[in-house]
Amino acid sequence: MDLQGRQVVITGGTGALGVAVVGALLAAGATCHVPYRSEEEAQRFPHRDQARVSLVALADLANEAAVTAFYAGMDMLWASIHLAGGFAFAPIAESDAKLLGSQLDSNLIATYLCNRCAVAAIRRTGHGGRIVNTAARQALEPRLGASLTAYTVAKAGVVALTIALAEEVAKDGILVNAIAPSIMDTPANRRSMPQADFKAWPSVAEVAATVLFLASPQNAVTRGAIVPVYGKT
């Protein structure tokens, strides 16, 4: 994949998958703009000292004014990759309006705003570009969302957003797609499920390779796809 000299935004870039995605983008020659929520995140980010990495404090991706201002500063944006999101395990009896609202904010509203602003920034270049969102397996297979109803609803919204927007902006040369992860092999997931078969989970490097392709110029035709990245699970 060749992204030499191309500008890319990566939300959630300081997380486990984000670190792998940023590393893959840097290896492909991209310049990476990474919003972060806290100084602790920024300090532990392993790519922070790379010359082609710009870390930008942006605590709330569901804040329309903040997100608009962030993208307004993007010159010659090629791609915007949206990995940030929230997760909540909660049976319906524990899923009140506040919990649902938090899942919608962190997953759907934040992704919607980033998509909206990314489209405007990419259109300014006149050269087209790429957008990659993050859905979830539960959004494609809602029966797996038992006791994850708020999360499943929010991620299903990301699926609908991706497909609808892909159709809207194809004429501008902007290809919009999403990945749908299952359980990835991360230290946090290993700690929370110590008896699981870790070898069945996709590594973050493997998922990052899929993201890299969807965000690259080499992806010339794929749009409106929700790509499963399930590994062997």
* Verdict on whether the full-model pTM lies above 0.95: yes
Plot region of 200 (φ>0 → left; ψ -120 to 50 → alpha; else → beta): alpha
Q: Is the pLDDT of residue 1 over 90?
A: no
Residue 159: C-alpha distances to residues 58, 88, 97, 186 (Å):
24, 18, 22, 24
Element containing residue 165 per DSSP (H, E): helix 149-169
> pLDDT tens digits, residue range 93-129?
999 999 999 999 999 999 999 999 999 999 999 999 9
In a domain, 15, yes or no: yes
- What is the pLDDT averaged over residues 45-73? 97
Q: Which amino acid is at 173?
A: G
Answer for the pair 139, 129: CB distance below 8 angstroms, yes or no: no
Q: Residue 115 sits in which domain range?
A: 7-229
DSSP 108: I
**C-alpha dihedral sign at 221, 14, 232, 26:** positive
First to last CA, the chain: 27
Contacts 24+ apart (CB under 8 A), 47-53: 47/19, 47/22, 47/23, 50/26, 52/26, 53/22, 53/26
Question: What is the rounded distance in angstroms from the CA atom of residue 172 to the CA atom of residue 168?
Answer: 9
Q: Which two tokens stand for residue 32?
A: 């990476």
In a domain, 86, yes or no: yes
In a domain, 125, yes or no: yes
Mean pLDDT for all residues in the chain: 97
In a domain, 1, yes or no: no
In a domain, 2, yes or no: no
Percent of the chain with pLDDT over 70: 100
In a domain, 126, yes or no: yes
In a domain, 19, yes or no: yes
Question: What is the rounded distance in angstroms from the CA atom of residue 33 to the CA atom of residue 158?
Answer: 22
Question: What is the rounded distance in angstroms from the CA atom of residue 233 to the CA atom of residue 230?
Answer: 6
> pLDDT tens digits, residue range 122-180?
999 999 999 999 999 999 999 999 999 999 999 999 999 999 999 999 999 999 999 99
> Residue 21 sits in a domain of what CATH number?
3.40.50.720
What's the domain count of the chain?
Answer: 1
Show Cβ contacts of residue 73 under 8 Å, excluding neighbours closer than 6 positions: none
